[in-house]
Structure 1
Amino acid sequence: MDRLIDDLSPSLDIMDVIKKAIRAVPRHQFIPPVGLITPGKDSTAYLINRDADPHTWWDVVYSDTAVVTQLHDGTVPLREATGGYTSSSSQPSTVADLLNLLDPDPGQRVLEIGTGTGWTSALLCHLVGEHGEVTSIEVDRAVAEQAANNIAAAGARPNLILGDGALGYPGRAPYDRVHVTCGIRTVPYAWIQQCRPGAVIVLPYSPNFNSNFVLRLVVLPNGTAIGHFPSLASYMMMRSQRSVEPCAARGPEEKHHLTTQVDPRTIAYAPAGADLVISTLTGLDSSTSDEPDEDGEAFRMWVSDPNDPNSWAVAIWRPGAVEHKVYQVGDRPLWDEVLEAYFRWVSWGRPNRERFGMTVTPEGQEIWLDSPDRIVGSHAGLQDELVNA
């Protein structure tokens, strides 16, 4: 436990009250006997098994490591480790960071979106109280049942709801805090509606173009919410907001072989501020790979429309190339859109992540630069230029 607490500092300025909660609610009570560890793209995922190798299991549980607890919504056993991670016990330093930003006080009503293993529900109960202050919603029945068992064994008493977290839970509103444990591309306005003025909402904002963000919103008396992106974090997506999987071209007319003079690594390795602008202006997802192929060294960057499986592109860098190949499926000029958004960010002086914010209204959400009247884009339509840029 001491090592786990040490991992939270000094890189993060975690409040003592959060550290005390983590000490008071042992993480091992919420980790299943078998879990999956995913060290990173350059390492192979591996299982931890409390019965077969208790030393490794305990060592991982009390390190700053996420533990995957479900694959493909429970349809694939963990031992197959095929990707498709759909539930986990999040990295403790990230949990502590989000709770730190949430800054809950005793007696406040908290709505949690995504019960998961139940650890953060129990932490919230320790922070605000055990008399019905915490309401936690989980969409997956099997996950919810296991979380309820974990929470009961730990002696915590949140209100546990099986349902769609995007709808919130008006039965216990108004809330002072909303704690979200799944990736969100579009902030549900129901959460703002169910909060009192001054309430704080902390969520993983996940546009999924290279970087994902922590968003901290404050609810205003006029029924809107406004906030900034204080840090970075990646979480598994809310089920109703997952991207579709790209598909192969349906015919020759959908295949386009193009070129670009821009090194794809320029976009892939751009700062988080650029990622935020590109995702806002294009709405696209991205992923990368640097594995060599039969033609030698290569770096690939994929971009795709999260709502259209037949619209995607890949740009390929190879050493010494003057122009780089782009293969596109569908008629939408995805790579051109990405480049236009990137160079627009450059023309604005390469603003960093901290200068951006979001406003959420009944009509949708807007991303802005420096002040809410300098709108970069929104769900309803993108701006040609920043106001007064």
Structure 2
Amino acid sequence: MTASSAMVEALIAEVSAIVQIEEHTRQAFRAVPRHLFIPPVGQAFTPEGDHRLIDRDADPDDWWSAVYSDTSVVTQLDDGATDITDITEGAGECTSSASAPSTVADLLRWLDPLSGHRVLEVGTGTGWSAALLTHIVGAGHVTSIEVDRTIADQAAKNLAAAGLHARLIVGDGAEGFPDQAPYDRVHVTCGVRTVPYAWLEQCRPGAVIVLPYCPGFGTGHGLRLVVTPDGSAHGRFPGFASYMMMRSQREPADLPPRDLDAEHRLTTTMDPRTIAFAPPGADLAIAALTGLTSVGGYTEDEEGGLYRLWLSSPADPYSWGTVKWRPHSTDYDIYQAGDRPLWDEVTDAYFRWVSWGKPGRERFGMTVTEEGQRVWLDMPDQVIG
């Protein structure tokens, strides 16, 4: 069986209802069959946000339906250490996937690749986006880097099956690939907390870098940077983007031993969900002002249901804490370890954002130089962190 034109057009229509899709991306979707880049067995996201196993041999109709719908398909767990068929809760962390087509279309729209552009892609994955880019800019113009050799080898097979040629490199994408520089576009398909300056160094003036900026506090953000003649880059956050983190920028899996002399138990009258469910603009501001990360969710313990917000500091892993919300409570428990008053820092940053008029994500931007990166509000000279 192969994909019918009706399946492809249905996918394009579904994506078009979610995001703006450029004509060159529509043509690439038609020319590059997605099913050639999806493994026989994977985990597809359900509408509820859970995973379900898709198996081409066991249930071909379900597999084809997932492939030609706007869903991401997880293709690897725990860097390959956990079998992809294990869908039990907590079985493994997703470490590679085929991104949802709407997400792919969004990044390609922000990237705006043109025929003849020289493109560096960071994170080959299944190879589908490298194939789409090759269709758009032309054979031999795309260099794609993948850190995982097993994934890279399969991507090479997928591209060959599609009859498309891209230069595939196994290595750390944070270093770029200077041998093919200068680049006109850099397309990043993994979450980034710190933008590597090597990407800017390997770009010509006017080049565009598009990446998922994932500082770790709240949601992730698409970032579109333009490289300037002085070697810096400036840009804004045009929308949502959340990807698996670049391996070299992951947070450590385990916390260090706690300093028991620096533990604090406090309470707050502020509902922690005010922070956890804040808009993307607040997430950006809090991340820039504090450098902290967060994760939260509803769960239960011996006292019943609760929402727990975790706070941590990548720069100071000894400092971390939780804030608990329970129904019908008027005071909420805070537990903090380390020297930093994390909850105070987060709430101070939140109310600074409120005092600015609650600016949305689109009003923030970033400048990247050899010295580092800075987040700003409205104009590059209004740096907030």
- Decide whether aligned partners of structure 1 residues 53 and 36 sit closer, same or farther in structure 2, where only a CA change above 3 A counts: same
Match of residue 385 from structure 1: none
Question: What's the TM-score, normalizing by structure 2?
Answer: 0.94
CA distance in 1, matches of 2:262, 2:34: 50
Whether 1:334 aligns to 2:339 is no
**Residues 302-321 of structure 1: per-residue CA shift (max 9 Å, x gap):** 11113444321110011222
The alpha carbon displacement at 1:353 in A equals 0.7
**In the alignment, which residue of structure 1 is the partner of 2:54?**
48
The within-5 A match list for 1:188-199 is 188-199=196-207
2:206 and 2:179 map into 1 onto residues whose CA distance is 20
Residue in 2 that maps onto 1:233 = 241
AA of the residue aligned to 1:125: T
Map 1:331-370 → 2, pairs under 5 A: 331-370=339-378
Structure 2: gaps of 5 or more residues: 1-7
Give the match for residue 120 of structure 1. 129
Cα distance between partner residues in 2 of 1:34 and 1:111: 29
Note if 1:218 corresponds to 2:245. no
1:215 partner SS: strand
Return the match for 2:109 from 85, 96, 100.
Answer: 100
Q: Which residue of 1 aligns with 2:3?
A: none
Shift of 1:369: 0.4
Amino acid at match of 1:261: T
2:285 to 277, 281, 298: 277
Which segments of 5 or more consecutive residues in structure 1 lack a partner in the other structure? Answer: 378-389
Amino acid at match of 1:28: H
1:256 is matched with 264
Per mean C-alpha deviation after superposition, the further-off stretch among 99-108 and 304-313 is 304-313
SS at match of 1:4: helix
Other-structure match for 2:159: 151
User: Matched residues in 2 for 1:248 and 1:219: separation?
Assistant: 39
One-letter amino acid of the counterpart of residue 65, structure 1: T
Residues 1:202 and 2:191 are matched in the alignment? no
Q: How far apart, CA to CA, are the structure 1 residues paired with 2:341 and 2:111?
A: 40
Please give the alpha-carbon distance, in whole angstroms, between the structure 2 residues aligned to 1:216 and 1:13. 16
Counterpart Cα distance in 1 of 2:260 and 2:367? 43
CA offset digits 1:221-242 (Å, max 9, x no partner)? 1111100000001100000101
1:253-332 correspondence runs (5 A): 253-332=261-340
2:150 corresponds to which residue? 142
Query: Which one-letter code corresponds to 2:367 in the other structure?
Result: T
1:247 aligns with 2:255: yes
Give the conservation status (yes or no) of the 8 Å contact 1:246–1:310.
no
Alignment partner of 2:100 out of 62, 86, 91 = 91
Kindly indicate whether the alpha-carbon contact (under 8 Å) linking 1:244 and 1:307 is maintained by their aligned counterparts in 2.
no
Q: Verify the 8 A CA contact 1:246 1:312 in the aligned structure 2.
A: no
Aligned partners of 1:273 and 1:350 also within 8 Å? yes
Distance in 1 between residues matched to 2:259 and 2:375, nearest whole Å: 37
Aligned to 2:73: 67
Whole-angstrom distance in 1 between the partners of 2:317 and 2:52: 31
Counterparts of 1:166-185 in structure 2 under 5 Å? Answer: 166-185=174-193
1:215-274 residue CA offsets vs partner (Å, 9 max, x unmatched): 001111111110000000110000010112353863632432111121101101111110
Q: CA RMSD in A?
A: 1.4
C-alpha separation in 2, matches of 1:76 and 1:208? 24
TM-score (norm 1): 0.93
Secondary structure of the residue aligned to 2:193 is coil
Choose the corresponding residue for 1:2, options 9, 17, 25.
Answer: 9
Residue 6 of structure 1 aligns to which amino acid in structure 2?
A
Q: In the alignment, is the contact (CA less than 8 A) between 2:318 and 2:338 conserved in 1?
A: yes
- 1:189/1:220 CA distance change after superposition, 3 Å: same
CA contact (8 A) 2:271 2:325 kept: yes
Q: Which residue in the other structure is 2:63 paired with?
A: 57
Residue 179 of structure 2 aligns to which amino acid in structure 1?
A: G
Equivalent position amino acid for 1:24 in 2: A
CA distance in 2, matches of 1:70, 1:256: 39
AA at the equivalent of 1:104: P
> Aligned pair count?
375
Cα distance in structure 1, aligned partners of 2:46 and 2:258: 36
Following the alignment from structure 2 to structure 1, what is the Cα–Cα distance between the partners of residues 292 and 22? 36
8 Å CA contact 2:144, 2:167 repeated in 1: yes
Task: Tell me which amino acid in the other structure corresponds to 1:10.
Answer: A
Moved over 6 A (4+): none
Describe the SS at the equivalent of 1:157.
coil
Distance in 1 (alpha carbons) for counterparts of 2:260 and 2:210? 46
Task: Specify whether residues 306 and 37 from structure 1 end up closer, same or farther in structure 2 by C-alpha distance, changes over 3 A only.
Answer: farther
Identity of aligned residues (%): 60
Q: Which residue of 109, 120, 129 corresponds with 2:118?
A: 109
Task: Report the AA paired with residue 62 of structure 1.
Answer: Y
C-alpha separation between the residues in 1 aligned to 2:124 and 2:158?
A: 11
Seen in structure 2, the aligned counterparts of structure 1 residues 285 and 178 have a Cα distance that, compared at 3 Å, is same
**Which residue is equivalent to 1:387?**
none
Of 208-217 and 75-84, the range deviating more from structure 2: 75-84
Q: Following the alignment from structure 2 to structure 1, what is the Cα–Cα distance between the partners of residues 46 and 262? A: 37
Amino acid in structure 2 at the alignment position of 1:112: E
Pairing 1:129–2:128 present: no
For 1:197 and 1:251, the matched residues in 2 are separated by 49
Residues 19 and 43 (structure 1), Cα distance of their counterparts in 2 relative to 1, 3 Å cut: closer
CA contact (8 A) 2:259 2:337 kept: no
Amino acid at match of 2:357: G
- Correspondence 1:33 to 2:44: no
